């Protein structure tokens, strides 16, 4: 975390993209990379030296997601079935060998390559809500970087995680996927991270967004979410009741 002498470099009234409040002079703060630096294995950093964008956050807001972020990256990278995803798992294995990782991550990483399903998928019980919480934080970061506005935590949304094992059966069932698939990528972090994004206005006052993330050249995450300016009945009555987080079939 930056020391207090560097606080003068924060522009006045800088807003934390997670809670939407300005960062006060007496509040600890830090920088959150979008996407997380952990997405990039050591060998990738050495070879490509990716220059990541970042956002200011309250230290407390950012740390509230830390364990879910570590969990989600381990689970998703392990299911990417790609060299860049495997390289992230290799980094985690080395950290575990040095005693730098907690028991949960150790259990996740050790499960890869030991238990497989009928299609060759790596099988173990996952905590879906933790993965979706991390994905939604990532989407909110992208939204703030692109538009300079806070995307509230309780925005109505639908999240679908598609692995290489499920893609042949799951993607044809999503009618809007071909629409966003054929648009230009926006992030351009090689095979590690990319995304596509389409904003739409439809009937009944609904303003929506379609976003597709590509993680480690293997995991596709599809997100539908309402715009904060949406005036549909669902947003007006109760955004919490409208949140759908479809379980990733891993």
Q: What is the pLDDT of residues 70-92, one digit of tens each?
A: 999 999 998 998 999 999 999 98
pTM: 0.85
State residue 112's pLDDT score.
65
* CA–CA distance, 63 with 57 (Å, rounded to integer): 10
At residue 99 the predicted structure's pLDDT band, cuts being 50, 70 and 90, is confident
Vertex 117 angle, CA 113 and 123, to 5°:
60
Show the tokens assigned to 36: 């997380």
Predicted pLDDT of residue 114:
58
Tokens representing 82 are 């790609």
Strands 244-245 and 207-215: unpaired
Pairing of strands 157-162, 244-245: parallel
Instruction: Write out the H or E segment, with its range, that includes residue 181.
Output: helix 177-181
Task: Please report the sign of the dihedral spanned by the C-alpha atoms of residue 168, residue 173, residue 176, residue 178.
Answer: positive
Digit-coded pLDDT (tens) for 199-235: 876 655 678 899 999 999 999 999 999 888 777 666 6
The rounded percent of the chain whose pLDDT value lies above 70 is 79
Decide if pLDDT at 123 tops 60. Answer: no
The H or E element containing residue 44 is helix 42-48
How far apart are alpha carbons 161 and 134 in whole angstroms? Answer: 12
What's the whole-number mean pLDDT along residues 182-209?
85
Model pLDDT, residue 238: 42
> Of 182, 142, 181, which is closest to residue 52 (Cα–Cα)?
142
CA distance 93 to 100: 10
**Angle CA(172)–CA(166)–CA(183) in degrees, nearest 5?**
50
| Average model confidence (pLDDT) across the chain | 84
Q: List beta partners, residue 211.
A: 197, 223
pLDDT confidence of residue 122: 58
Model pLDDT, residue 221? 97
Name which residue leads in pLDDT, 244 or 134: 134
What's the pLDDT at 95? 85
- pLDDT recorded at residue 83: 96
Lowest mean pLDDT among 112-116, 138-142, 172-176, 182-186: 112-116
Where does residue 123 rank: exposed (0-12), middle (13-18), buried (19+ CB within 10 A)? Answer: middle
What tens digit of pLDDT does each residue of 28-73 get?
999 999 999 999 999 999 999 999 999 999 999 999 999 999 999 9
Band of the pLDDT at 161, cuts 50, 70, 90? very high
Running DSSP on this structure, what letter comes out for residue 16?
P
Quote the pLDDT of residue 97: 81
Q: Which pLDDT belongs to residue 200?
A: 73
């Amino acid at each position: 975390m930056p020391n207090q002498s560097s606080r003068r470099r924060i522009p006045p009234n800088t807003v934390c993209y997670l809670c939407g409040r300005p960062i006060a002079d007496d509040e600890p703060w830090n920088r959150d990379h979008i996407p997380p630096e952990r997405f990039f294995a050591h060998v990738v950093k050495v070879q490509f030296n990716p220059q990541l964008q970042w956002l200011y956050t309250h230290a407390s807001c950012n740390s509230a997601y830390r364990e879910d972020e570590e969990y989600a990256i381990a689970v998703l990278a392990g299911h990417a079935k790609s060299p860049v995803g495997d390289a992230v798992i290799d980094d985690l294995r080395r950290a575990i060998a040095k005693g730098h990782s907690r028991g949960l991550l150790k259990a996740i990483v050790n499960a890869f390559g030991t238990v497989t399903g009928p299609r060759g998928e790596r099988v173990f019980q996952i905590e879906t809500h933790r993965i979706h919480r991390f994905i939604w934080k990532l989407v909110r970061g992208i939204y703030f970087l692109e538009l300079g506005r806070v995307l509230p935590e309780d925005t109505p949304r639908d999240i679908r995680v598609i692995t290489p094992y499920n893609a042949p059966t799951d993607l044809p069932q999503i009618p809007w996927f071909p629409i966003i698939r054929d648009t230009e990528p926006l992030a351009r972090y090689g095979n590690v991270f990319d995304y596509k994004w389409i904003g739409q206005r439809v009937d009944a006052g609904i303003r929506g967004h379609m976003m597709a993330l590509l993680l480690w050249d293997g995991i596709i995450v599809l997100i539908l979410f309402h715009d904060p300016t949406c005036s549909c009945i669902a947003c007006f009555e109760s955004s919490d009741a409208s949140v759908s987080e479809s379980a990733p079939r891993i």
